[in-house]
Amino acid sequence: MAINIKDPSAVQEMMKGLWRDNPVFVQVLGMCPMLAVTNSAINALAMGLATLFVLVGSSALVSAFKNLIPKQVRISLYIVIIATFVTVIDYTLLALFPAIHKELGAFIPLIVANCMILGRQEAFAAKHTVGFAVMDAIGMSAGFLIALFALGSVREILGNGSLFGIDLFGAGFEPWVIMILPPGGFITLGLILLFFNWVTERKARFLEQVVAAEQAKG
Amino acid sequence: MTIEQQSLEQQEPSSTKLALSLAFAGLISGIIIISIFEATLPTITANKARELREAVFKVLPNVTTMQKLQFDNGKLRVRTEKGADENTIYGGYGSQGQFVGYAVEGAGPGFQDTIRVLYGYLPEQRKIVGMEILESRETPGLGDKIFKDAAFVANFDDLAVDPEIKAVKKGTKSTPFEIDSITGATISAKAVVRIINEARVRWEDRLPAPGNEPKLEGKKTKDEG
């Protein structure tokens, strides 16, 4: 990896996934795992880390072999690469963390179908050097993980009265069961998207005002 | 052939090359998948065996020792081979080595995928005394209540098997062979009941008359695990 971590553009490639191009809040990708496994914080975290492993591994490989991959069959090859990483993480979780594997169940094999991962191969890794591809992959999966975790912890706190399985409110709390059911996922995601867009809009308006003030002065 | 077509064809790699690159990727991927499968298999098998052993002690109260029993040639005998197959059940024995009950495994389709169930059965009283879900991919939040909902699991702590177990609407259980279903997860709850009924019918004629169960051989206690 011939890349300087202090290189501002490499850091930028990573940071953009966290906020500006966040895969969930901005690109609205990867909705299936997003809504399905975020009924508790620990599930969200495990899914986020599994996705990170798959995305970073696939991006590095795709970027390293980009000149050898014939473009006519590139999508099939990307899927083969992604599926291999997914199988590796599937068996590893099953062997080392059977309890988490049981919780996530069918959604681990479904990481193959996470369009965010294939999207990054096509849109970024296939056109950039390994270093940039890895930085981009880390940023994107970190953004994905943050989104999963935000949704997962809100839903677990409201729907189960706990966080990471630790009771927060005591016996007097009546869990808001709908939050850990699918509708709760949609409602929470909607509210988070609303907040995200509100912040983005506020920021844009603020910048506009600054520019206007500068122009008025000058 | 126009010049344009010619230049296009020069850019196109041959089909052989495309097929070869795919085959090569498939080969590498296959090797990696087989390696990870082989590497994790012992741990996964050990995990499953441990889970099963723990489940046997959970579904059969007052049991301190267990051994595998195998049905073949029309007879139930102690299984000495490793592993288990569909004709294996588990015998639970008390602290004096006396027979207590069987733990029987059953499997069948649920709402999403195969559900594997283990239940404890006392042949003399014709009663089920415990149930554990060994494997399920039922919907999180709904179908997974078949093992997360303590009230549903408790249905199986004292359940008559005759004439057959029936799932009824939650709160309407009125006979010893009925269980309260789960609101919102009727299919999963009924699947569990169906799996247990099928397994019980399958084993009904295979089990020896009460009192003639295979004797405990060797020692394999809870603590040795």
Domain assignment of residue A108, yes or no? yes
Q: What SS3 class is residue B24?
A: helix
Distance of residue B73 Cα from the nearest chain A Cα, in angstroms: 36
- Paired tokens of A47: 């899914």
- Looking at per-residue confidence, does A121 or B85 come out higher? A121
Q: Is B142 at the interface with chain A, CB within 8 A?
A: yes
CB contact under 8 A, B32 and A84: yes
User: Would A4 be classed as within a structural domain?
Assistant: no
Q: Please judge whether B142 and A181 are an interchain contact, meaning their C-beta atoms are less than 8 angstroms apart.
A: yes
For the stretch A38-74, pLDDT in tens is: 888 888 899 999 999 999 999 999 999 988 888 889 9
Question: What is the bridge-based pairing of β-strands B166-168 and B178-180?
Answer: parallel
Task: Look over chain A and give the mean of its residue pLDDT values, rounded to a whole number.
Answer: 87
Listed in sequence order, the residues at least 6 apart from B37 whose beta carbon sits closer than 8 Å to its beta carbon are: A91
Q: Do B26 and A37 lie within an 8 Å CB cutoff?
A: no
* A106: in domain: yes
User: For residue B143, what is the nearest residue in chain A, using CA coordinates?
Assistant: A181
pLDDT tens digit string along A77-108? 999 999 999 999 999 999 999 888 887 877 88
What percent of chain A stands above pLDDT 90? 40
DSSP-derived secondary structure for A176-212: -GGGGSHHHHHHHHHHHHHHHHHHHHHHHHHHHHHHH
Q: What percent of chain B has pLDDT over 70?
A: 91
Helices (H), chain B: 3-11, 15-59, 145-148, 150-154, 186-204
Residue owning tokens 């999180």: B140
User: Which two tokens mark B222?
Assistant: 């809870």
DSSP assignment of B77-112:
EE--SSS--TTEEEEEE-TTS-EEEEEEEEEEE-SS
pLDDT at B132: 92
**What is the arithmetic mean of pLDDT over A137-157?**
91
Tokens for A160? 């189960």
Size of interface A-B (CB pairs under 8 A): 66
Q: Is residue A54 part of a domain?
A: yes
H/E segment holding residue B84:
none
- Mean pLDDT, rounded, for A207-218: 86
- Tell me whether residues B140 and A36 touch, CB distance under 8 A: yes
> Domain span at residue A187?
12-217
Q: How many domains does chain A have?
A: 1
Question: Is there a domain that residue A156 lies in?
Answer: yes
* ipTM greater than 0.85: no
Task: Give the residue from chain B lying closest to A43, CA to CA.
Answer: B140
> Please, which residues have CB within 8 angstroms of residue A44's CB and are 6 or more apart in sequence?
A37, A38, A145, A148, A149, A151, A152, A153
β-strand B127-135 against A162-163: which pairing, if any?
unpaired
- At residue A1, the pLDDT reads 46
Min Cα separation A214/chain B (Å)? 53
